[in-house]
Structure formats: C-alpha cells, structure tokens
C-alpha cells in the first residue's frame, strides 16, 4: 500500500521522533517487526535495541530505544520508552564509559554474589547499542 506512516518516539522527558516514515522496523519482545501503512493494530513490549525507519525521502534513520512499548495502528506507530536517542544526540564517550563500568560490574559480580549481574548486563546492552549507532556514521 502506498503512503507514509507516522512515527512517534517519546520518553518521560522528551519527544525524540515525530516524523513520517515509509517503513518502521522495531525490536519487539519476540523479534524484530516491520510496519508499513495499513498494518493491523497491535501492542507489544520492546527490547533494548534499534528502531530503524526510512524517512519520506527514502533516507534510513536509526534511533536507540531502551525497551518500552510500541502501539501500532494502521497509520501510526507510537513508542513509549524510558530513554531513546537519535544518532546525533549520542555521546559515544559517555556510552564507552558506561560499557566499561558495566563490564567491570559484571566481572565483579562473577566473583561476588552481592552485585547485580543482570543490571550490569542490561546497562551493557544499552551502551553497546548506543556505540553501534554512533559509530555507523550516516545521516542522523
């Protein structure tokens, strides 16, 4: 079906994306899914990962998403996430520092039971995805 779908990505403190898209691809809890205009409505949890979409000019864009939920309607995808960052807003040094911290905590946790290994693993996933986006230098 021809036409663009509206994409909105919002967090508790900002609206990260409000843009039309030719296609939106998101990391659903049970696997990545793609949405074109006219898609059946559904609601899903998201994993930490990347939302990729093609803007109306056909340029591929990517946004980091820290889990959350996506509501898909035939003409709109709304993502509510605890945090989300466009490529241009990612501070790669900050993400590298977060990655290092998470790795250190995970190493500690394998020695000491009292450190939250899972929390560090989730922080590591956030940092790795941010670095992945920031280091792929294309249009933001």
Considering only CA atoms, which of 11, 133, 125, 129 is closest in space to residue 68?
11
Counting contacts by CB under 6 A, is residue 138 touching ligand ATP?
Answer: no
Hey, which residues between 79 and 108 contact ligand ATP (CB under 6 A)? 83, 85, 89-91, 94-95, 98
Q: Are 130 and 85 in contact (CB under 8 A)?
A: yes
Q: How far is the CB of 49 from ligand ATP (least distance, A)?
A: 13
The Cα 108–Cα 102 span in angstroms is: 10
Residue 66 binds ligand ATP, judged by CB under 6 A: yes
Closest CB to ligand ATP among residues 75, 104: 104
Residue 110 sits at φ, ψ, to 5 deg, of -75, -20
**Positions in the binding site for ligand ATP (CB under 6 A):** 66, 83, 85, 89-91, 94-95, 98, 123, 126, 130
């Amino acid at each position: 079906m021809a036409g663009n779908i509206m994409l909105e990505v919002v967090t508790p403190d900002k609206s990260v994306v409000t843009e039309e898209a030719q296609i939106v691809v998101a990391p659903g809890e049970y696997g990545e899914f793609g949405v074109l205009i006219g898609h059946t409505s559904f609601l899903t949890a998201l994993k930490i990962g990347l939302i990729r979409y093609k803007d109306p000019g056909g340029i591929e864009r990517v946004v980091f998403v820290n889990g959350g939920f996506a509501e898909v309607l035939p003409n709109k995808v709304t993502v509510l996430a605890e945090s989300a960052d466009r490529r241009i807003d990612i501070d790669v040094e900050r993400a590298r520092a977060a990655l290092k911290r998470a790795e250190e905590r995970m190493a500690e946790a394998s020695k000491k039971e009292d450190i939250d290994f899972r929390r560090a693993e989730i922080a590591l996933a956030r940092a790795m995805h941010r670095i992945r986006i920031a280091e792929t230098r294309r249009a933001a």
